[in-house]
Amino acid sequence: MSFHLYDERTGQQTEFIPLRPGEVSIYHCGLTVQSAPHLGHIRKEVVFDVLRRWLSAQGYDVTVVANITDIDDKILAKSADQGLEWYELAYAMELELHRAYAALGCQPPNYEPRATGHISEMIELTQTLIERGHAYPAEDGSGDVYFDVRSWPDYGELSNQRIDDMAPAADADPRGKRDPRDFALWKGSKPNEPATASWPSPWGRGRPGWHLECSAMSLKYLGSEFDIHGGGLDLRFPHHENELAQSRAAGHGFAKYWMHNAFVTMAGEKMSKSLGNGTVVTEVTQQYPARAVRLYLLGPHYRSAIEFSPTSLAEATAQLDRIDSFLGRAGASGQVDFELAQLPGDFVEAMDDDLGTPAAVAVLFDTIKQGNRALDAADRASADQALTQVRAMLHTLGLDPHDPVWAGSAGDDLTSAVDGLVALVLEQRSQARARKDWATADAIRDQLAAIGLTIEDTADGVRWSL
């Protein structure tokens, strides 16, 4: 079996066949940088990071582009409230996003274009759409340019809706639109908006509409046609539907496959900026190990909702302990020298089945059990084989503690110094144990526990961990 994915456009699971042999191009919608990312946002990053790792593991040369929307209504409104320039807020939040990527072990995209850096590309694309009869400047002199949804017969194909069934746009005021469902490609600047937030165009000063950005930037960096377009489920409509219509109407093949991840929910409801129920990534990573958070996000399938709960995060932390305890017992060290052949067949099958991380994680734990059994039986060869498999799986999921992406969490210099200090103390304790002075031995263990060091006596000697 080869990689199969659920393609949102057709509603079917299909075999993944790249447009160009050996290469995969992925575009997923980044954030509108108006506030610090919450767990739901970072779930998308983790999902697409694993997708990228999985395709890379199979030898594909993977290119990932994720945009940064650094100008929009909300950014203008929020920055005004906070007394900041819009670009100050946008950049500060972009840095927050990067911190969150790094915190959860996500590799940054190959390119991360900002909307404001691609105004001329967007103007060109808008002009093409006007020339082709799919867009028109607003008839009310606002300087807006709209996409004419009625001019594109396939409009609605991604979200499986018919134009006439769609609820009319909430703003009943159609402004200069021919149909209330027409959407803005270009927004004429308004008198109350800062001068720095508008750019010259054939239709007067203004700024691009949100949907247009992704069409223009994917075209620039990935070409007229690319493999996979991803994003959160809430982008399916209207954002992705609109992107698809625009790009196709402009003569581009656009995305071959569409993947959407489900939400992180809070008391059953979607975590979102507008509901204000989001849990900011940095708050979570302060309370739980970052790798446990990542494991928690990969536990359920990417198309299932994840309910946020401290209990689940605590369970993920316990799972991580189980993993790390095995790695410690089996003597894992250094970076993984990964080969696809090291992965168990069931794991490969799970990942090929639409990125089935739940089944993949189950294989991981099965293998850990086998490895532990082998260690109990002093079967070093089997234990080593299990260790190799476990580390290959962890590497694929981005969970290997020795992966460079986690390097920031413990400096090597510090680790070796602590190592030496702990060894000194443990030497005292083992002397006490040798003379059966259990009180002293236990007191040392308790004191180390009080500062966060766990001591375990094993057949192979004493092991400690933070």
Site for RNA in 6-65 (CB under 7 A): 11, 29-32, 38, 40-41, 43-44
Residue 94 is encoded by which pair of tokens? 């972009």
Beta strand 254-261 with 269-270 is unpaired
441 binds RNA (CB under 7 A): yes
Least distance (Å) from RNA to the CB of residue 265? 6
208 binds RNA (CB under 7 A): no
The binder of RNA chosen from 115, 197, 244, 375 (CB under 7 A) = 375
402 binds RNA (CB under 7 A): no
The binder of RNA chosen from 369, 404, 410, 423 (CB under 7 A) = 369
456 binds RNA (CB under 7 A): yes
Letter string b/e over residues 250-272, b meaning 16 or more CB atoms within 10 A of that residue's CB: bebebbbbbbbbbbbbbeeebbb
428 binds RNA (CB under 7 A): no
347 binds RNA (CB under 7 A): no
The binder of RNA chosen from 197, 305, 343, 351 (CB under 7 A) = 305
Nearer to RNA, 130 or 295 (CB): 295
Least distance (Å) from RNA to the CB of residue 84? 18
Distances (CA, A) of 151 to 178, 246, 444: 11, 11, 77
Nearer to RNA, 341 or 434 (CB): 434
Site for RNA in 78-107 (CB under 7 A): none
Q: Could you tell me which stretch among 121-129, 215-223, 236-244, 336-344 binds RNA (CB under 7 A)?
A: 236-244
CA-based nearest residue to 432, from 445, 422, 450? 445
Nearer to RNA, 336 or 359 (CB): 359
The binder of RNA chosen from 410, 415, 454, 460 (CB under 7 A) = 454
The binder of RNA chosen from 56, 58, 282, 372 (CB under 7 A) = 372
Beta strand 225-232 with 254-261 is parallel
Least distance (Å) from RNA to the CB of residue 248? 19
Number of residues binding to RNA, judged by CB under 7 A: 88
115 binds RNA (CB under 7 A): no
Nearer to RNA, 414 or 451 (CB): 451
383 binds RNA (CB under 7 A): no
CA-based nearest residue to 267, from 215, 211, 306, 219? 306
Least distance (Å) from RNA to the CB of residue 20? 26
Site for RNA in 240-299 (CB under 7 A): 261-265, 268-274, 299
Residue written as token pair 């409104």: 77
72 binds RNA (CB under 7 A): yes
315 binds RNA (CB under 7 A): yes
365 binds RNA (CB under 7 A): yes
325 binds RNA (CB under 7 A): yes
229 binds RNA (CB under 7 A): no
> Rounded distance, CA 261 to CA 49, Å?
12
Least distance (Å) from RNA to the CB of residue 160? 4
Nearer to RNA, 325 or 385 (CB): 325
> Rounded distance, CA 462 to CA 459, Å?
8
Least distance (Å) from RNA to the CB of residue 337? 25
Nearer to RNA, 23 or 74 (CB): 74
The binder of RNA chosen from 5, 57, 89, 368 (CB under 7 A) = 368
- Burial class from Cβ neighbours inside 10 Å (0-12, 13-18, 19+) for residue 441 reads buried
Nearer to RNA, 18 or 238 (CB): 238
